[in-house]
A and B are shown apart, each in its own frame.
Chain A
Amino acid sequence: MKSVFIVFNQANTERVEFMLDELGIRGFTFFEQIQGRGSINGEPRRGTHTWPEMNSAMMCVVSDDMVDELLKNVKRLDKRNEEVGVKAFVWNIERVI
């Protein structure tokens, strides 16, 4: 079990939801209206006058074999429009109740 944490410009929300639906990923936790900044050249998303845009994040816990498929689609989404921006991080899930 892996946790995939997808952070994206909120303009991508519908696409991310569509992607999850298409992949048949049901479970998620959705963080709305979060702030952030990319490590390399990602634009700050602060909701201020200077940086008005905002991010959202989706955390999906998926089976290991699902991760590649999911990341591939995230990459596709990123490629569709790099300026809007989407990022995914994967880590291990230790236990589930």
Chain B
Amino acid sequence: MSIYKSAIEKPITTTLIFVAIIIIGLFCLSKLPIDNFPEMDPPYVSIMTSYAGANASEIETNVTKILENGLNSVDGLKDITSSSKDYISLITMEFEWGYDMDEAVNDIRSAIDMVYDNLPDGVSRPLIFKFNTSSFPIIQYAITADESYPGLKKILEDNVTNVLNRIDGIGNLALSGEPQRYVYIDLDPQQLEAYGLSVEVVGQAVSANNLNLASGSVKMGREQYQLRVQSEYIESNEMEDIVIATTQQGKQVHIRDIAEVRDTIKDVTLDEKVNGRDGVRLIVMKQSGANTVQVCEDVQKEMKKIQKTLPPDIKIETIYDSSTDIKNAISGLGESIGYALLFVILVVLFFLGRWRATVIISLTIPISLIVAFIYLKMADSSLNIISLCSLSIAIGMVVDDAIVVLENITKHIERGSNPHEAAIYATNEVWVSVIATTLVIVAVFVPLTMLGGQAGIMFKELGWIVTIVCCTSTVAAISLIPMLCSKLLKAKPVHVDENGKLVEGNAKKNWYERTVVVWLDKLDIFYANALRWCLNHKGATIGVLLGVLALSIVPIATKAIGSDFMAQQDNGRMTVTIELQRGTRIEETMKFAREVEKEIQVSSPEIQLISTSAGSNDDANISSLFGSTNNNKMQMTIRCPKKYERERTIWEIAESVRGVLNKRPEIVSYTVSTASGMGGGASNTVDLEIYGYDFDQTNILAADLKRKFQALPGARDVDIDREKDRSELQIVFDKEKLARHGLATSTVAMYIRNRVNGFTAGYLKEDGEEYDIIVRLQEKYRDSMTDILDMSITDAMGKSVKIGELAEVQEYWAPPEIKRKSRQRYVTIKVTPEGTSMGEMAEAMQKVVDETDIPMGIHTAFGGSYEDQQETFGDMAVLLVLIIFLVYIVMASQFEDFRNPLIIMSSAIFALPGVIFALLITNTTLDMIGALGAILLVGIVVKNGIVLVDYINLMRERGYDLNEAIALSGASRLRPVLMTAFTTILGMVPMAISSSEGSEMWRPMGIVVIGGLTVSTIVTLIVVPVLYGLINKKNETEKLAKKRKNFIFMQLNVEDEL
């Protein structure tokens, strides 16, 4: 028994199956996390190796090169880049998207094992770490304080981080720029020398008096006691009274005699300010797989409670909360889907004019969409921009199958069948062709799931969702729809009157039949006439159409339409990085930052918050590797109100910030970036990579190109990523003199470190926290070259020696960092296009490069977002070919004909002018999402064509003359074609005009589909019939002649045998 017959015979089972699907879908929906994008773990692995004492070029030759050669053979590797800095080599390996990273890490481990022995002694074990989307911060807070500032770290750790850590899904909480309590013992070297003491002796004395030691147990009578020596410092001022030595005169030397004890906060190396006030940043990260929106909401709620318990001078402000963006984007899309649903229902109602039929058809929409939630849940995905975009694409398509089935059933009922029989036989007639049209959609969308790269991860979800939704709608169309029709539709009311005549009840025409139907009938006739005219003037028609097509190529040829990887979003944030003269003291940088902040505030009063960090943590740890600031570099995060709460766009504000920065001569270079910084190919720079070994040559070329690029129209933030050579002070020892004093370089190096950086002499314990006690020279005795040479150290004989006697100090220039890509040194020039697209910018840059004389051995290539974009567009082109091929196969097998599919596919080309004009009118660039819209068009346009050609074939087989068959089928198929087109177009309108947050991303898709489909629908209705007429012209007469030629028996002479 066929599916539709079973469904009709068992209405309760059918209903309940679909109810079950809805319930499961809603259950899945309630469990789905909400996120910005599908989870995509970036395929990057970093390998960090440290080699104490080596500078950048030593690291490059001895560590990075060896490791790179070993790692180059790892499977799935796409790109290998490295950065060699002082002491540290950092190699980043990029893999193909979707490659199994666990396997990659295993391969890397064994590759490292193979070359590890070739590394110099003293190199640490290479540390492998994987990147993860969950390592992106989901919320950042700026916390400012006045009088509580010195104790802020403890207050926050006790009251904030500990509390927030209890929230479900919290991954990591990090404080940045928090003040750390330190006890400094600053020594006077002259006093030291007078008493014959050294820094080390003082340090040892301090730590020797800071004890907590178990000294055995004592038995007293029946009891037994543990004995302890407890002499830990309780207050820092106790240290002042420590006796370090006793002079020969019997005088005791106390710390207070030779030093100053300061219980204070650590010297600034990292400065965090929020709107110019002292502050720290709290960065909240989530566990992977946790619901970002949920976690953010919980954190915000908890934070409100915490705020009340904190001292009143502590203020907590949100710099960045990813959940608001996500929520706004998702609710914006949700709204679009809601409107799309409404529009689709209205279109159906308009064309069918019967509310029962409309209800039946509308039912397929929620059922089909809900199945998508089940898929999302099973695929461990989330409600995100991509999945919701897919749903809104699908809305217009899911009703098509239902419409075809319902139309046929209605036709049978109109003829007088009862609904039950009509449902069975009418579905039987159309179910095969319904499945065939769905196959076309599948042929378009399944290849999307095979796309590689970052785009592939997004399109995979889209491909599956549309495929699944459309297949579900087909299943519903041949099971649920016939069942509902058999129950809900009513047979024509007829009765026999007293004369024995049949009378149709309800003969009076209702409002709909009197207006809309009349109008639609007129449209049919008009169209049939227009079509007849076109068929009689094929040459002129085709000529005009080709003219339009040619006209639409003009904007492409003249580059009036640009291309981008992904549209930039205005989410009210920008990041400003400013670099000052190399070697600027952190204090100077801070002062400068305050001034600039004020000027920016004045120039752009809409700015709500400026959070600035400058400097870096001096402890070399992993997180400092990713920090981009240092003593002469600062980073500002600027937050503006939501885009509909201000007049200027973020790009205009960014321009005015650039204006402020341009006026400051101190600035060496700066960038103002409005990218969101959260996944999804956020940055929009065109990177030109210059490969070459010789630093001087590449530096000169880069500087030359930078100057030329800056002159290009639309080029902003032109930046060379190679840092300039840095001056260093090197202490060069005379080995002979060292030997004479019985000293080793390492000992002397340690002595110098103790004097300048400090000797850690234990900890001051308070409330379970430990604070470092640092013994070192007073600052004024260690801030010049002579001071360093004047430092005294103790030699092996216990005598005091000046460093100046052992060594000399040299100033020296060295590159602070050596960057390599594909095992070659390279330097990148980054250019941010403003008011022009990446494609055009890259082309202009290429032209400049071509005109420039490039020295031998140096070559250039494009990288960055532009490379990603090129790759994606390349992949998409392959995909388009694959889709066209599959669609052709489906159609050719449906028509059993090689030529007719070509007619339909050629009509898809006419979607191009629509796409181009729509982009041109709305001044939109074509980006990844827009290109996706274009691919999608192929499916929809083709579907329209199939409906038409299928019917023309039918009419011709029924013996109609070619032109008449075409005109008739045109008139009869006009409504279904218009209906399909309108449901899809109107379904996209909310997307195209939406102005909610993140709408920049999907707007191009709406525009592309609306423009393309509008034009191509009109064109399809003309082109397909005309081309059909051209190609099939002689066919019918030829067929008959061929038959006559074959069947010669009728010419036999049989007169005599009768």
Q: Give A residues with C-beta under 8 Å from B.
A: 14-15, 18-19, 22, 71-73, 75-77, 79-80
The residue on B at minimum CB distance from A80 is B1049
**Pairwise interchain contact A72-B1047, C-beta atoms closer than 8 A:** no
- 9 A-B pairs with the lowest CB-CB distances in the bound complex, closest first: A80-B1049, A76-B1052, A75-B1054, A76-B1049, A18-B1047, A77-B1049, A76-B1054, A79-B1052, A15-B1047
**Pairwise interchain contact A22-B1049, C-beta atoms closer than 8 A:** no
> Told that A73-B1050, A76-B1052 touch, could you supply 7 new A-B pairs with CB distance under 8 A?
A15-B1047, A71-B1058, A72-B1055, A75-B1054, A76-B1049, A79-B1049, A79-B1054
**Chain B residues positioned under 8 Å from A72 (CB to CB):** 1054-1055, 1058
**Pairwise interchain contact A75-B1050, C-beta atoms closer than 8 A:** no
**Chain A residues positioned under 8 Å from B647 (CB to CB):** none
The residue on A at minimum CB distance from B1043 is A18
**Pairwise interchain contact B1058-A80, C-beta atoms closer than 8 A:** no
What CA separation (Å) do A77 and B1052 show in the bound complex?
8
A89, chain B: closest CB distance, angstroms: 15
What CA separation (Å) do A15 and B1049 show in the bound complex?
9
**Chain B residues positioned under 8 Å from A71 (CB to CB):** 1058
**Chain A residues positioned under 8 Å from B1047 (CB to CB):** 14-15, 18-19
What CA separation (Å) do A80 and B1047 show in the bound complex?
10
B1057 sits at the interface (CB 8 A): yes
A90, chain B: closest CB distance, angstroms: 13
Q: Give B residues with C-beta under 8 Å from A.
A: 1043, 1047-1052, 1054-1055, 1057-1058
B993, chain A: closest CB distance, angstroms: 58
**Chain B residues positioned under 8 Å from A15 (CB to CB):** 1047, 1049
What CA separation (Å) do A73 and B1057 show in the bound complex?
12
A93, chain B: closest CB distance, angstroms: 22
**Chain B residues positioned under 8 Å from A75 (CB to CB):** 1054, 1057-1058
**Pairwise interchain contact B1050-A19, C-beta atoms closer than 8 A:** yes
Instruction: List 18 A-B pairs, Cβ < 8 Å.
Output: A14-B1047, A15-B1047, A15-B1049, A18-B1043, A22-B1050, A71-B1058, A72-B1054, A72-B1055, A72-B1058, A75-B1057, A76-B1050, A76-B1051, A76-B1052, A76-B1054, A77-B1049, A79-B1052, A79-B1057, A80-B1052
What CA separation (Å) do A80 and B1046 show in the bound complex?
12
Tell me which of B1047, B1048, B1055, B1058 has the highest count of chain A C-beta atoms within 10 A of its own C-beta: B1047
What CA separation (Å) do A79 and B1058 show in the bound complex?
12
What CA separation (Å) do A19 and B1049 show in the bound complex?
9
B1058, chain A: closest CB distance, angstroms: 6
B1057, chain A: closest CB distance, angstroms: 6
**Chain A residues positioned under 8 Å from B1050 (CB to CB):** 19, 22, 73, 76
What CA separation (Å) do A19 and B1050 show in the bound complex?
8
**Chain B residues positioned under 8 Å from A73 (CB to CB):** 1050
**Chain B residues positioned under 8 Å from A76 (CB to CB):** 1049-1052, 1054
**Chain B residues positioned under 8 Å from A18 (CB to CB):** 1043, 1047
**Chain A residues positioned under 8 Å from B1043 (CB to CB):** 18
B1037, chain A: closest CB distance, angstroms: 15
What CA separation (Å) do A14 and B1049 show in the bound complex?
12
What CA separation (Å) do A14 and B1047 show in the bound complex?
9
The residue on B at minimum CB distance from A77 is B1049
B793, chain A: closest CB distance, angstroms: 111
**Chain A residues positioned under 8 Å from B1049 (CB to CB):** 15, 76-77, 79-80
The residue on A at minimum CB distance from B1055 is A72
What CA separation (Å) do A32 and B677 show in the bound complex?
72
**Chain A residues positioned under 8 Å from B1048 (CB to CB):** 80
What CA separation (Å) do A18 and B1044 show in the bound complex?
9
What CA separation (Å) do A14 and B1051 show in the bound complex?
17
A85, chain B: closest CB distance, angstroms: 13
**Chain B residues positioned under 8 Å from A14 (CB to CB):** 1047
The residue on B at minimum CB distance from A14 is B1047
**Chain B residues positioned under 8 Å from A77 (CB to CB):** 1049
What CA separation (Å) do A18 and B1051 show in the bound complex?
13
B347, chain A: closest CB distance, angstroms: 43
What CA separation (Å) do A15 and B1043 show in the bound complex?
9
**Chain A residues positioned under 8 Å from B1052 (CB to CB):** 76, 79-80
A84, chain B: closest CB distance, angstroms: 11
**Chain B residues positioned under 8 Å from A22 (CB to CB):** 1050
The residue on A at minimum CB distance from B1053 is A76
What CA separation (Å) do A19 and B1047 show in the bound complex?
9
The residue on B at minimum CB distance from A68 is B1058
The residue on A at minimum CB distance from B1047 is A18
The residue on B at minimum CB distance from A15 is B1047
B1036, chain A: closest CB distance, angstroms: 13
What CA separation (Å) do A19 and B1046 show in the bound complex?
12
**Chain B residues positioned under 8 Å from A79 (CB to CB):** 1049, 1052, 1054, 1057
What CA separation (Å) do A71 and B1055 show in the bound complex?
11
**Chain A residues positioned under 8 Å from B1058 (CB to CB):** 71-72, 75
What CA separation (Å) do A79 and B1048 show in the bound complex?
11
What CA separation (Å) do A71 and B1058 show in the bound complex?
9
What CA separation (Å) do A33 and B1043 show in the bound complex?
24
B1056, chain A: closest CB distance, angstroms: 10
A81, chain B: closest CB distance, angstroms: 8
B1049, chain A: closest CB distance, angstroms: 4
What CA separation (Å) do A88 and B12 show in the bound complex?
53
B489, chain A: closest CB distance, angstroms: 33
A80, chain B: closest CB distance, angstroms: 4
What CA separation (Å) do A75 and B1048 show in the bound complex?
13
The residue on B at minimum CB distance from A73 is B1050
What CA separation (Å) do A77 and B1058 show in the bound complex?
13
What CA separation (Å) do A77 and B1047 show in the bound complex?
9
**Chain B residues positioned under 8 Å from A19 (CB to CB):** 1047, 1050
What CA separation (Å) do A1 and B16 show in the bound complex?
58
What CA separation (Å) do A18 and B1046 show in the bound complex?
11
What CA separation (Å) do A76 and B1043 show in the bound complex?
17
**Chain A residues positioned under 8 Å from B1051 (CB to CB):** 76
What CA separation (Å) do A85 and B527 show in the bound complex?
51
